[in-house]
Every structure is written in structure tokens, then in C-alpha cells.
Amino acid sequence: MKSLSVSKAVTALMLAGLVLLPLYSSLSGNIFILTLFTRIIILALAAASLNLIMGFGGMMSFGHAAYLGIGGYAVGMLAQEGVGSGFIQFPVALAASAIYALVIGALSLRTRGVYFIMITLAFAQMAYYVASGLARYGGDDGLTIYKRSDFSGLVDLSNRTQFYYLCLACLFGVIFLIWRIVNSRFGLVVQGLRSNEQRMQAIGFPAKRYQLVCFVISGTMCGLAGALLANNTDFVSPAVMYWTRSGDLMVMVILGGMGTLFGPVMGAVVFLLLEEFLSQITEYWALIMGPLLLLIVLFGRGGIMGMLGRAGRG
């Protein structure tokens, strides 16, 4: 029980910090930290969505950044064409991500293990090159978004604090949904398939159907992160879909703790803060970051959540 309370306490502390951050930012006048954490929260949302298929579903998707791009391009392209309403942009971003996930999932889930990793990676790289070829929408150089999604006064995305809380609300909403899903009938089936697919087939569950639906839910959630990210940077480019970004998301999930609710958030916070501060110290920050991550993955099984659990027990 004590082990639970340590990781719970740290999680609660982190969440309270995220909720109170704008207060600190306005009191101290540190605007930069608000911008930084907006980005962290959006990528935490993406990592949480990846965790649904990777941690709970056992599907190692190495192409999850594709949805960041699809969600982002949905917003950017519609804005370019004069459709500025968020009530159109966001549903389109989610729908486009869902459709992409459905097609990619239907094809990729015919394979297992390393092949699944490689094929999801290949599709994401295809998406990357398709986006690079969109001459009308900036091609390689990307697409500047001159006006953020307009929610007709409901919430103003150009207001830093409002945008921050919108992102945070989306993150909490998605985590709440994931929590409900993993404890539902559907979630138990998906986790059962991760544990032992043969057994699940033998007791009467068609594996692929459940995995595909899970894949689509996860992709749609990440599409939301993509739409938010484009608004955050006022810009979308093929680079958000590049495979290294998919790798970053995987690292966040593994770092925080696969198959835990708040692990991906923890992972995103630690990963991006490390990246931020190390890159201020030295240009060769990756030289420090790499070994550090290796150590955590090698010796801290179960990621940060796992280590907190053990610290509580020890």
C-alpha cells in the first residue's frame, strides 16, 4: 500500500503543479515557462494516446507522430483555405486521424512484433513525404498558420493562459477516457490480447477487431494533440511527422512507465525539461541525454512510475 502512496503522491504533486503553473507564471512574469509547459502538455497528450496501444495494448507503433502531422495539417490547411472555425478544424483533424488510423491499422495489424514496428514506421514516413510534397501548403518548408482556431469566444486560443488550460483540460479528458477504457470490457480484452493472444482467441475473442478499434481510438486522441500543437506553434511542417518524433513519444512512454495512467505525462515532463535544460548548457546535450535515458531504461524497469513504486517499498 505504501508503494502506491509514493507514486500517487508524486503524481498528485505533478498534477497540482500543472494546474497552478499559470499562476506562478503571471506572478513571476515568466512567460517562457508557460509556453514551454503548453508544449509539454500537448506532447504528454500524444504520449498518453500512444501508451493506450503500446502500454495497454502491446502494439509497438513506431509511427505515432504521423497523427501529430495529420491533426496539424488539418488545422493548417483549413486555415489556409479560409476556414478558421475550430468547430470545423478540430472535428476534421480528429476524423482525418481516425481514418488514417483505420487504414494503417487494418494493414499493419496483419503483422506482429518487429514487422508491426517497421510497417507503422514506414507508413509514417510515407505521410512525411506526402506532406513534403504538398507544394500548395508549403511543402518542405511547412505552413504558417496566421490565425489560431476560432472557437467563437468560447475560448480564446491566442490568450496564453486560456490556451494552456484548454490543453490541460484536453489532457485530463483524454486520461479520464483512457482510465475508463482500460477498466471496461473492451479494455480488458485489449490487455488480455497483449498478455496472451492465443488464449484470447480460444475463449472466443477475434483479436484483430479489438486491436484495430483500440488503434483508431489512440490515433484519434493523438490527432487532437496534433491540432493543439499546430495552434501552439502557429506553424505545421513535415518535421512533426519525422520518425525521430515518433521515437521521442515512445521514449516518453517508456521513461514514464508503460501501461500506467500518468506515466506518459511524467515521461513527457521529464524528457522535455531535460531536453530544454541540457540544450541550454551545451550544444551537445544529446550526448548527456542519451546515456541518461539508457540508464533509466536499463536500471529503472517500469520507468519512473516503476521506480517510485519500488522506492516506496524499499
- Binding residues for another protein, rule: CB under 8 A, are 180-181, 183-189, 191-192, 195-196, 198-206, 210, 213
Phi-psi region of 204 (alpha: psi -120 to 50; beta: other; left: phi over 0): left
The nearer residue to another protein, 159 or 184, going by C-beta atoms, is 184
Sort residue 61 into left (φ over 0), alpha (ψ -120 to 50) or beta.
beta
Nearer to another protein, 91 or 206 (CB): 206
Show the cell assigned to 202.
Answer: 480460444
Give least dist CB 73 to another protein, A: 28
**Please, what is the minimum distance in Å from the beta carbon of residue 182 to another protein?**
10
User: What is the closest distance, in whole angstroms, from the C-beta atom of residue 309 to another protein in the complex?
Assistant: 15
CA-wise closest residue to 64 among 47, 40, 41: 47
Smallest gap from residue 205 Cβ to another protein (A): 6
Residue 129 or 179 with smaller CB distance to another protein:
179
Residue with smaller CB distance to another protein, 159 or 183:
183
Least distance from another protein to the Cβ atom of residue 207, Å: 8
Question: In Å, what is the CA distance from 156 to each residue of 36, 78, 221?
Answer: 19, 18, 22
Nearer to another protein (CB atom), residue 147 or residue 180? 180
Q: Helices (DSSP H) in the chain: which residue ranges?
A: 2-28, 31-51, 65-80, 86-108, 113-132, 160-183, 185-195, 197-202, 207-233, 243-256, 263-281, 285-299, 303-313
